[in-house]
Amino acid sequence: MSVGAAKIPVVVTEAVEVNSLIKRFRFVREDGGQMPGFSGGAHTVVEMDDAGTRRLNPYSLMSDPGDRSGYEISVRRDDTGRGGSAYMHREVRPGMKMLISPPVNLFGLDLRAKKHLMIAGGIGITPFLAQMAQLDAMGARFELHYAARDRELGAYMPELSARYGDRVHRYYDAEGQAIDLTTLLAGQPLGTHLYVCGPKGMIGWVLKTAADLGWPAGAVHSEEFLAPPVGQPFTVELAVSGKTITVGAAQSLLEAIEAAGVDAPYLCRGGACGQCETHVIACEGEIEHNDHWLTDDQKAGCRHIMPCVSRFKGAKLVLER
């Protein structure tokens, strides 16, 4: 059970190769109606039936929030991942019917800001595409700093520069270019909000630099969806439903709970939103906490687990589910 409305039946109308790693997909409603409205930074969870394995992956909506005729996402292929992005690249083509969730925004703009400063790394550009369209329509002040490995992998860079001009700053790792973050952050007018989306290392660098320069936590926003890591299979007892399940090596605990027919809450499936938080009744072993949600104290306490991304090693794990 995800929170909120029912899944939306959609038809894929476009599957376009953007570069050697990224494909863009467009979905419209099967019944021809309008998509639910969304705000920049929102994501949808795409349901995949991969040869009998049900996959649910979150992807940021990149299309203009003002356009309710369809949703667009961009998917970066991860060849070492569990297979969701590979499935999107390999199997999804125009005409195919799929199910997607209504939009959820965990990375919204703070519209009280005087200025919006966005920092993107690689595929982390996607939520900003929607946010910039929203801000541009509002006449709000924004600036994008977007780093990619090289010109080929800098998805949408020329289009962004053409549309937003000198509000877009591009950086290519391969050409030795890097964001001069300290100068950039120190020079921002009071009332600026900072947004960062990209690889883990980049997010950590931006958050730490901002904190060191005295940026208040409430003016700094980040989003990183984690893919559930692969690991060793383990066994879990579900106390409320009275079931004992085995979580496969490439399966997440949440997916194993769902596969056993047990209704469990979720929203982002990427360790960010907190919706799937589950009480641990007994734990003889070690929980591998992989989420961004629980505090360090909670992680050390072994009383809570986020089944979407976390795993377990040990003799016995009993959950209140």
- Length of the chain in terms of residues written: 321
Cα end-to-end distance, the chain, whole Å: 13
If DSSP states are collapsed to H, E and C, what string results for 145-177? Answer: EEEECCCCCCCCHHHHHHHHHHHEEEEEHHHCC
208 sits near other proteins (criterion: CB under 8 A):
no
Which span (94-102, 148-156, 212-220, 279-287) binds other proteins, by CB under 8 A?
212-220
Is residue 257 at the binding interface for other proteins, with CB under 8 A as the rule? no
Is residue 186 within the footprint of other proteins (CB under 8 A)?
yes
* The one segment of 29-37, 68-76, 82-90, 111-119 that binds other proteins by CB under 8 A: 111-119
Q: CA 301, CA 30: separation in Å to the nearest integer?
A: 46
Structure-block tokens of residue 169? 């700053």
Residue 117 CB, nearest approach to other proteins (Å): 9
Assess 113 for contact with other proteins (CB under 8 A): yes
CA distance 200 to 302: 25
Task: Report the site for other proteins in 24-43 (rule: CB under 8 A).
Answer: none
Q: Is 219 in the site for other proteins (CB under 8 A)?
A: yes
119 makes contact with other proteins (CB under 8 A) = no
The residue assigned the tokens 């190769």 is 17
Give the residue with the Cβ less far from other proteins, 85 or 188. 188
Local structure of 308: helix, strand or coil:
coil
- Site for other proteins contains 156 (CB under 8 A): no
Based on the shown chain and the rule CB under 8 A, indicate whether residue 283 belongs to the binding site for other proteins: no
Q: Are the beta carbons of 28 and 69 closer than 8 angstroms?
A: yes
Which amino acid is located at 73 in the chain?
I
- Residue from 176, 201, 214, 261 binding other proteins (CB under 8 A): 214
Contacting residues toward other proteins, per CB under 8 A: 110, 112-115, 185-194, 212-216, 218-219
